[in-house]
Amino acid sequence: MKKTIIIFVGLLILGTGVFLLCEFFWQKNNNSPAPIIIGGDKDNHDCLVGAGYSWCPSSEKCQRMWEEYCPEFADAFKIENFDDCVSAGNPVMESYPRQCISKDGQHFTEETNIAPELNDRIILENPIPNQIIKSPLLIKGQVRGLWFFEASFPVILTDWDGKIIAEGHAQAQGDWMTADFVPFEATLTFNTPTYKNNGSLILKKDNPSGLPEHDEALEIPVFFEMK
């Protein structure tokens, strides 16, 4: 008899525990907040605000203001520098420094740590800083016309110790008698250093006067492809 009572009490306790556990999960599921749909908000013109669309009165349609021009929002999305240009989704040239071109054709230059004072005077397309190079090396880019003398300027390649291993002249690929940017190209042939793989490429403004106050140069680090 005593054993039967013990079994009955045990089953009662077990059943109560199961009941309370089920009640807990039922309350939890029924008190959960309704799921939130992200990006589903719309404005009075039925534009999907969560996806970045706004109503443009001029075009009378929903559009992303950084993708399509809208006069009414021109001031809000005015591009004044490289970061603004990139944020607006415009293409970026893989050069040094990088250049961003806005939809209306403006060029914006990225500020750099290497010779920032030359950012508005020289654009190097190949090689760029820390690039791995090998012989023959094609050097190309754009410089202001005032960088040339007789349509050329010196280019120098050094090894890790500053020893010159190649030098030559970059040639203008257009009319250089201008203050605007002019494309240039140069090719250097060299023997790859065998001790260390780092060196420098130096592009010097041609200075026929010889006066130090007219000297300018862009020096970038490069790495040699070791065999």
pLDDT tens, per residue, the chain with 227 residues: 555 555 554 555 555 555 555 555 555 555 544 444 444 578 788 888 777 788 888 888 888 766 777 776 765 567 888 888 887 778 888 889 888 888 777 888 888 888 888 888 999 999 999 999 999 999 999 999 999 999 999 999 999 999 999 999 999 999 999 999 999 999 999 999 988 999 999 999 999 998 988 899 999 999 999 87
201, 121: one domain: yes
134, 145: one domain: yes
Instruction: Identify whether the C-beta of residue 62 lies closer than 8 Å to the C-beta of residue 55.
Output: yes
144, 195: one domain: yes
Amino acid at 64: R
Nearest to 152 by CA among 97, 205, 87: 205
57, 155: one domain: no
Dig out the tokens for 25 from the structure: 């999960």
Task: Say how far apart CA 110 and CA 95 lie, in whole Å.
Answer: 10
**Can you tell me whether residue 183 is helix, strand or coil?**
strand
92, 130: one domain: no
90, 140: one domain: no
Instruction: Identify whether the C-beta of residue 208 lies closer than 8 Å to the C-beta of residue 149.
Output: yes
Nearest to 139 by CA among 175, 95, 108, 103: 95
Domain hosting residue 61, numbered range: 40-77
> In the β-sheet with 217-224, what is the strand arrangement from edge to edge?
122-126, 137-144, 181-188, 164-172, 152-158, 198-204, 217-224, 132-133
